[in-house]
Chains A and B, each alone.
Chain A
């Protein structure tokens, strides 16, 4: 199978994720879309590793997974805290950080 197809898939997944981050209001969904973008990147890494016959891309993919796991912890904690204080998980409601 042509490895370029995986790259196309990765691009599609990344675009879906980016669109989700920009369009959805629910923090949980935005969060899942970020995970989708990270995994799209992972897919691209692994594919490149395969195409080049080196292991670099696979190693980076593992790093990304670790970062994503940490991010999940911090991100969920923030979402839970915001939900507790505002009774809403909409990202548009939390807009106090402006002048």
Chain B
């Protein structure tokens, strides 16, 4: 694949980055226009992305990738790292999703954050988030990606803790940051392995090194595992998933941005981008599949038990990203479908989060679904857009989620052997549970009887909020068909993720059978939810006489308890021991030497009498001693 060059890539990142800096440094003077500048920056970036897409489609498939050399970053002897941007078929999908959905979220936030005194700062952080994420997907090496990766971590920290006057929110931000740091260790390990094994950190260099066979399979598996650890942290996958639920502390548009356009998709990007590593590292690839499968069920189970609408959606994100990770673990056949699900998910999940924000906006920031009910009449647009997103996520044809999820289930079944059957069943089970908990969310929020607080006066949101929701719901309807019609997205991505044109001829089940099974699973999920939540009235507080399993699911499957017992408590004990050792042993040695010197000096001082004659005597004795010593040595 030959790469052209382009001079305009840098604008994609530079515009939101400068806007962010400008808004932060501009101070209160920009309060009136800050949101407009921020939105304009994101929109301009989107326009640049569209122009780039247009240029890219004008070239033939093998030479669509373009690079832009910015500057030489590190230059030590023969070792050189350039800050170079790379825009190929894989990056452009992300760039369009990030800037497109990001811009809609910006527009939505203008109205959602209208009464917040810090709206300018909020938009500055949103821009920073967009810029960091763009750098992440545009870097041409693992090291450039790392910069964006950390930038995303910082921006998410700032935004999750945006209302940091509330200590629990600040803690949630810290938790997200720490969980991400654990993953970052993986990424830095991957960079080191790449450097040691191939002497290069660019994607191109590593891919060529692997092709030349300059790394052992152990090294490749280790690198794959390190990359997976990074992806697990950023994409909130098992076992580093605990931060995602708490990240709901941020304003709702932030949740939409984190869950749909940025942040959690970074892990999927990293694995897809590293396809050359995983295709040659079967053990690491198997790990990816396992992580995906576990998380997909994990998130779905948590989603069933949540009464907080945002947390239910967060659990569903975890589960849907699990689908994507699982698909990336299925090798060349899966990358394109992972990407397709990522893009369709970007639309419907952003739409649903904005819908949830719209509901909260109308209900005095109430998030408990038990206090909703019958909102479809008072919020018709929110209901319609959320409903379309709902139909898309559970995979009803012809909505977007149907195409992408169906393909993933199909690919899972075709993975071959018992692995294929297990994965297929897991994805089907996930689809059924997804249908169940999303139906539950719909029923509890928009149907049934009113369970509002007396102070609540729900109303439809202003047009600045509903227009982005409508646009995203159009995406939820159409994108699936557009991408999958004639395998358009798969063929588009093939030069990047499927260079050797693997053909999977082995089909365990015919596509139509898989679709039938998936529909059946979804139907079961919906009917159980209907039976449980539409006949009976929903109690105003969560029932307490439930099985132990429900209790565990409500506690996020004990993920926090697990982390607390296994990592936090021993960690605290360890720090206590270390602090004690530091104080007593290290500090003791240092100040002990000082104290000893002082005492010795105090004793020796007494020999300084001031009598000249005693000094003279000492000099004489010293001289005699030296002479005697010389005499003894020489004779």
Task: Point out residues on A near B: beta carbons under 8 Å.
Answer: 18, 21-23, 25, 30, 91-92, 94-99
Per the bound structure, the CA–CA distance linking A96 and B605 in Å amounts to 14
Return the contact of A99 from the options B608, B612, B616, B617 (Cβ within 8 A).
B608
Return the contact of A92 from the options B605, B608, B611, B617 (Cβ within 8 A).
B611
Q: Smallest Cβ distance from A29 to chain B, in angstroms? A: 12
Per the bound structure, the CA–CA distance linking A44 and B608 in Å amounts to 34
Chain B neighbourhood of A30, CB < 8 A: 613
**B contacts with A: majority SS:** helix
The proximity string for B residues 592-635 relative to A, scoring 1 for CB distances below 8 Å and 0 otherwise, is 00000000000001001111110011001000000000000000
The proximity string for B residues 471-491 relative to A, scoring 1 for CB distances below 8 Å and 0 otherwise, is 000000000000000000000
Besides A18-B620, A22-B620, 9 other A-B contacts (C-beta < 8 A): A21-B613, A22-B613, A23-B613, A30-B613, A91-B613, A92-B612, A94-B612, A95-B609, A95-B611
Question: A96 and B613: CB pair below 8 A?
Answer: no
The proximity string for B residues 113-133 relative to A, scoring 1 for CB distances below 8 Å and 0 otherwise, is 000000000000000000000
CB nearest neighbor in B for A27? B612
Question: A96 and B610: CB pair below 8 A?
Answer: yes
In order of increasing CB-CB distance, the 8 nearest A-B pairs are: A95-B610, A98-B610, A98-B608, A91-B612, A99-B605, A99-B608, A97-B610, A22-B617
CB nearest neighbor in A for B614? A22
Task: Point out residues on B near A: beta carbons under 8 Å.
Answer: 605, 608-613, 616-617, 620
A23, A25, A97, most chain B CB atoms within 10 A: A97
Per the bound structure, the CA–CA distance linking A98 and B613 in Å amounts to 14
Chain B neighbourhood of A25, CB < 8 A: 613
Q: Smallest Cβ distance from A43 to chain B, in angstroms? A: 19
A23, A95, A97, A99, most chain B CB atoms within 10 A: A99
- List 7 A-B residue pairs with CB atoms under 8 Å apart, sorted by A's residue number: A22-B617, A22-B620, A91-B611, A91-B612, A95-B610, A95-B611, A96-B610
CB nearest neighbor in B for A96? B610
Q: Smallest Cβ distance from A85 to chain B, in angstroms? A: 16
B608, B611, B613, B617, most chain A CB atoms within 10 A: B613
Question: A98 and B616: CB pair below 8 A?
Answer: no
Question: B620 and A92: CB pair below 8 A?
Answer: no
CB nearest neighbor in A for B602? A99
Chain A neighbourhood of B616, CB < 8 A: 21-22
Per the bound structure, the CA–CA distance linking A21 and B620 in Å amounts to 10
Q: Smallest Cβ distance from A82 to chain B, in angstroms? A: 11
CB nearest neighbor in B for A18? B620
Per the bound structure, the CA–CA distance linking A32 and B178 in Å amounts to 83
Q: Smallest Cβ distance from A91 to chain B, in angstroms? A: 5
Q: Smallest Cβ distance from A51 to chain B, in angstroms? A: 20
Chain B neighbourhood of A99, CB < 8 A: 605, 608
